Amino acid sequence: MSFYKFLWTDIILTHINPLKPIKTHNTHNTLTNTKMRTLTSKLTMLFVALAIGFAACEKSPVEEQKPEPKPDPQPEVELTITSGTQEVVSFEGGEVVITYTLSGQSDTLPEAACDATWISDIAVAEGTITLNVAANETEESRQAWVKIEFGDKEQSVEIHQEPYVPQDTPPTEYNYTMASAERDDKVADPEFSIAFASEDGKTRLVAHFVGEAGDVLLESGDFSSQSGTIDLGKTMFKNEGGIVKLTDARATVDYIGTDDFPPSTRIYTINFTLTDADAVIHNVTYQGEVANIYQGPTGPEEFAPAKVVAVKSMIGNFFLQLYIDNTRYHELDLLDEIAPNNDYLSAGVYKYSDKTIGTYSTYNTGKDRTTQLEDAELQLSHNEAEGTSTIVGFIKSAEGHHITFDWTGVIEGFKFEEEEPEIPVDPNATIVEIASAKVNYDKAGQKQILFSGAEQSHQLYFEHESIAVSKPIPDGIYSLEDGTMNARYCLHDYGWTDGEMSDIVVQVKNTSENTTRFIASWAYDGKAYAFDWTGAVEGFVYEDVSGQRLDFAPTYVEIAELSAENLYIYFYDDSGNEMFVNYDHGKVYMPYINYEGSKLDIDATDYTFTYSDNGDGTYTYDARFVTLDGRTIEFSGALPTTVS
């Protein structure tokens, strides 16, 4: 506006001033062109400015703004306590869980708090509020409130804890008196399983005592499960509450009476202290007789065998069975050290004390079981002309049985025959001088012997079911004709000509001097040969070695893995002995031992064998084997082992 005012004033004052007369002189009678042009310009500017001003003052149309759309209102999230407004807690206290739900999604969890000092560990999680209530040691109930806030709202849950109720303390010791006792006759001396019962039968105790060897009665003394004189695993205690699990048992035993056989009545006083798994003591007392306490014999009893049978085990070894009836018998393992043979036992005295009656002997108790012997003696004589024998002696069992016998009759299994005549030898045969004999191959039913002389050696191969490993070949005549000689391995001039023999006949006779006589004849290349040699054959074990333990203690082991389950295992000791075992899928096959220069086959049915890898280059072994001639091999422990 000031611009317009200025412009207008300028025009008025400069060009149209009313106070100033207009000159009319010719030179100035009119406005000069210059002034006119100036005025014209200024007026033009004025009118243009006015036009612009009017235009500027004219209002332009304003476009209206549309309002922003408002979002839909969201519902408020609500908290609901789903576990209820009260929690009742026992006086022992413990954990309490309050559950809740939210009606919608929320980025926050409720808050919970409680002023009570006996409520702690409040933790809020999605859907749960957990807290811990301490034990109430007062005899009054108590309450507290857990305040739960969510948003601007608050809810409360009452915690009501019950008062402490004093508990009756159970007794830690009980006393029982038993009215009866009876021994179980299925348990043999020196163990005594005795069943005790109370008057009303509600309390029962089965106590399993373990006495000393030779005890046939329960003797006085202190017994306990700790010392092993009470077998806790076989002891059972039951009261009105049921079977009680025992952790310890002790007993003192005393009696009045005598030890005569049969014993007079013994009056026992037995006091038990039993401890159960809760450390409760059960005192059990019994006084009186123990029914069936004595189960042994009443003294020597005369025994008349129904029959006597001899079963040959090997040369010079027979089991003499003294029959009680048609099926049961006492058995004596007799070893003939006088003149062992395959037909009968030599006349003489056999004793348990000098091992001519062996430890495999058994006494039949008459209760479908047998027991070992404590002592035995038997005197044997023969009437070969009549084919009868007489046995006189006694047997004492390890359980105290004692019988005597005096019997004459035919012993089944003994053969009394005239001595077999020597086989004739071709007078034109070439007599071979033999210096020694050695077993080259030894297997049950087969034996190969090399007879060595100064100039030639000859090999004979015997086959018969009576041939035992390591033992002498039984007396008899062996030949190609009856199949007891194998021509393929009977070789003339062994190691040089190795020619197969023909027409082989060999007579074998074992002597009482631990030697064997061989009378042999054969043909080779159209000529007859023969020898008559007596001596100890290397490889024959003339004495009974069953039960003897081989001195074999391996120090190194090699294992060849044929597969994960099939192993060849070689055991070596420091004396150059070697034992081999094929262990395939948990079973032993073809075991043998090369011991002191002889190969001994091992029984693959009677053994114990386990092993484990210690991971340090050693394996732990536990082994027990029995050779076919009855000798044992035993070792255990960790041994250096190479696996390939």
Residues 530 and 636 grouped into a single domain: no
**Tokens coding 366:** 């008459």
CA-to-CA distance for 207 and 271, rounded, in angstroms? Answer: 11
Mean per-residue pLDDT, 167-185: 89
Query: pLDDT category, 489, cuts 50, 70, 90?
Result: very high
Percent of the chain with pLDDT over 70: 86
In a domain, 419, yes or no: no
pLDDT of the residue at 31: 39
Q: Report the candidate in 603, 595, 550 with the shortest Cα–Cα distance to residue 577.
A: 595
pLDDT at 23 over 60: no
In a domain, 74, yes or no: no
Q: How many residues does the chain have?
A: 644
**Tokens coding 319:** 């089991």
CA-to-CA distance for 232 and 108, rounded, in angstroms? Answer: 63
Compute how many other C-beta atoms are within 10 angstroms of the C-beta atom of residue 515.
Answer: 16
pLDDT of the residue at 21: 45
Distance between start and end Cα atoms, the chain? 119
Query: pLDDT category, 32, cuts 50, 70, 90?
Result: very low
With tokens 């049961």, the residue in question is 328
In a domain, 227, yes or no: yes
State the average pLDDT for the chain. Answer: 86
CA-to-CA distance for 599 and 597, rounded, in angstroms? Answer: 7
pLDDT at 51 over 60: no
Mean per-residue pLDDT, 509-533: 91
Structure pTM?
0.34
- Domain region containing 9: 2-50
DSSP string, 553-612: ---EEEEEEEETTEEEEEEE-TTS-EEEEEEETTEEEEEEEEETTEEEEEEEEEEEEEEE
Which of 126, 141, 161 is a domain's end point? 161
Task: Write out the E strands in 257-387.
Answer: 267-276, 281-288, 301-302, 308-314, 317-323, 329-335, 348-351, 363-364, 370-371, 373-383
Residues 387 and 435 grouped into a single domain: no
pLDDT of the residue at 545: 78
CA-to-CA distance for 11 and 17, rounded, in angstroms? Answer: 9
Residues 560 and 639 grouped into a single domain: yes
In a domain, 519, yes or no: yes
Question: Residue 127 maps to which CATH number?
Answer: 2.60.40.10
Cβ–Cβ < 8 Å for 388, 409: yes
In a domain, 355, yes or no: yes
Residues 586 and 633 grouped into a single domain: yes
Query: pLDDT category, 5, cuts 50, 70, 90?
Result: low
**Tokens coding 638:** 């960790």
**34 phi, psi to nearest 5 deg:** -65, -50
CA-to-CA distance for 107 and 187, rounded, in angstroms? Answer: 77
**Tokens coding 80:** 């609901």
In a domain, 168, yes or no: no
Q: How many separate domains does the chain show?
A: 6
Residues 582 and 505 grouped into a single domain: no
CA-to-CA distance for 179 and 197, rounded, in angstroms? Answer: 6
In a domain, 72, yes or no: no
Which of residues 423 and 513 earns the better pLDDT score?
A: 513
Cross-strand pairs, 41: none
Q: Report the candidate in 284, 257, 364 with the shortest Cα–Cα distance to residue 321.
A: 364
Residues 467 and 504 grouped into a single domain: yes
With tokens 């297997």, the residue in question is 443
**CA of 78: how far to CAs of 99, 103, 337, in Å?**
14, 5, 107
Residues 574 and 621 grouped into a single domain: yes
Residues 114 and 177 grouped into a single domain: no
pLDDT of the residue at 65: 64
Cβ–Cβ < 8 Å for 122, 128: no
Q: Write out pLDDT tens, residues 309-365.
A: 999 999 889 999 999 998 999 999 999 988 888 899 999 999 999 999 999 999 998
DSSP string, 221-289: EEEETTTTSB-GGG-EEEETTEEEPEEEEEEEEEEES---SSPPPPEEEEEEEEEETTS-EEEEEEEE-
In a domain, 298, yes or no: no
